[in-house]
Amino acid sequence: MPSNDIQTLLLDLCGVRVEIRSVEPALLRGLAEAYPAAVVEGGLPHARLGIELAGRGIVAWTDPAASLEEVFPAELDERFARRGEELLDRHSGIRLRAGAGRIELDGPAPAAAEILLFHVMLLAARRAGRDLLVLHGGGAIADPGKGALLLLGPSGSGKSVLTAALCRRGLACVSDEVLVIEGGRVLPYARAIGLREPPPEPHATRPAASGEIKHLASPCSLGAGQAPPGAAIGCVVLLEPYGASPSAQPLERRQAAERLLPHCYTGRKDPARLLLRLLGLCRGAACWSVRPGTPADTAALLQELAS
């Protein structure tokens, strides 16, 4: 593609610089809505890894070249069905395949590109010798000096809604969807919050990777503070089914660590070591089982627990 037509989205995820390029500005705008801190520039990218968007065709390039297995190791691909040199995402129907040192992805951009972006970030971290622990969850920074509050639970348990409610109380947003932990500290994953609820004001709306419609709200638009580059973990919350009013029960740390296991993206090849890491994560934190009520009331309870 002619270099003068290329635009590049510069994105920092957990200390990994990824560049996303395209000649189609609308595709980059979709990702810029999901990652409000990203910067768009003209011209060719310069990073050793990145993503190229073109309609439904999405390509990752790496230097040195990476295989499909290196980008999507077995411990991360539970949602994928492997068929030779191709992966099929069981949730969205997105197909990935490897060839000539490139990873090609066929699916609706930009939602599909986020799947590849996440795995490219993890690839770069592994190549740099970083040992990241990644969990499916959301989180916010509690009162100064109190550390980060992490929310874990299955899809639909209210993690994003409660993260947004905490942001509306002025807490800094660590992440929506993924929690990246390194050396016992949680790193900001600078993504907008995806909400199923009707937006209180106009926000970007687009299909998520699962096909459902979500609107995107940047944490700062909700009144959130600025997240630090890394925060100690002060509180771990396991979400239960909704109730009429919010309630909380303390969890023994080993019980909390065992319940965190299904929410881990990384470390599954060695479950014994993973459990030890989770026990260490919970050792210095207050652990709670919380039954949510309304978002506002539950956020007030969560802030009280974290403080």
Kindly write down the DSSP assignment for every residue of 174-200, as one continuous string. Answer: EESSEEEEETTEEEP---PEEE-SPPS
Asked if 285 and 192 sit in the same domain, the reply is yes
State residue 281 phi and psi, 5-degree precision.
-65, -40
User: What's the predicted TM-score (pTM) here?
Assistant: 0.86
Nearest Cα residue to 94 out of 208, 209, 177, 206: 209
Query: Please, which residues bridge with residue 60 across strands?
Result: 51, 103
Asked if 278 and 177 sit in the same domain, the reply is yes
Instruction: For the chain, give the number of residues.
Output: 307
Residue 205 is predicted with a pLDDT of 41
Asked if 143 and 284 sit in the same domain, the reply is yes
Q: Going residue by residue through the chain (307 aa), what tens digit of pLDDT does each one get?
A: 445 578 888 888 898 888 888 887 877 887 888 888 888 776 655 566 778 877 666 788 777 888 777 888 877 766 778 777 788 877 777 777 776 667 777 766 666 778 888 888 998 899 999 999 999 999 999 876 778 999 999 888 899 999 999 999 999 999 988 999 999 999 999 899 988 755 444 434 444 444 455 788 999 999 998 888 899 999 999 999 988 899 999 999 999 999 999 999 998 889 999 999 999 999 989 999 999 999 999 999 999 998 8
Nearest Cα residue to 231 out of 266, 193, 189, 267: 189
**Residue pair 116/52 in contact by the 8 Å Cβ criterion:** no
Nearest Cα residue to 273 out of 136, 75, 69: 75
Asked if 297 and 207 sit in the same domain, the reply is yes
CA angle at residue 148 from 150 to 228, to 5 degrees? 130
Residue 42 is predicted with a pLDDT of 66
Nearest Cα residue to 278 out of 300, 294, 262: 262
Q: Which residue's entry shows tokens 């990777």?
A: 209
Residue ending a domain, choose from 109, 127, 145: 127
Residue 109 is predicted with a pLDDT of 61
Residue 94 is predicted with a pLDDT of 76
Asked if 166 and 242 sit in the same domain, the reply is yes
Asked if 256 and 294 sit in the same domain, the reply is yes
Asked if 100 and 137 sit in the same domain, the reply is no
Residue ending a domain, choose from 100, 127, 154: 127
Which CATH number does the domain housing residue 247 bear? 3.40.50
Q: Which residue range is the domain that position 283 belongs to?
A: 133-306
Both tokens of 147, joined, read 């550390």
CA distance 266 to 304: 30
**Residue pair 210/91 in contact by the 8 Å Cβ criterion:** yes
Biggest CA–CA distance in the chain, Å, is 59
Asked if 185 and 247 sit in the same domain, the reply is yes
Total domain count for the chain? 2
CA distance 33 to 203: 9
Task: Read off the amino acid at residue 302.
Answer: L
68 membership: H or E segment, kind and range:
helix 68-71
Asked if 302 and 243 sit in the same domain, the reply is yes
Asked if 109 and 153 sit in the same domain, the reply is no
Asked if 85 and 190 sit in the same domain, the reply is no
Asked if 223 and 111 sit in the same domain, the reply is no
Residue ending a domain, choose from 111, 127, 143: 127
**Residue pair 256/168 in contact by the 8 Å Cβ criterion:** no
Query: Please, which residues bridge with residue 289 across strands?
Result: 238, 249
**Residue pair 51/71 in contact by the 8 Å Cβ criterion:** no
Name residues whose C-beta falls within 8 Å of residue 209's C-beta, 6 or more positions apart in sequence: 89, 91, 92, 94, 107, 111, 112, 114, 115
**Residue pair 110/206 in contact by the 8 Å Cβ criterion:** yes
User: What's the order of all strands across the beta sheet hosting 86-89?
Assistant: 39-42, 7-13, 16-22, 49-54, 57-62, 102-106, 95-99, 86-89, 80-83
* DSSP class of 222: G
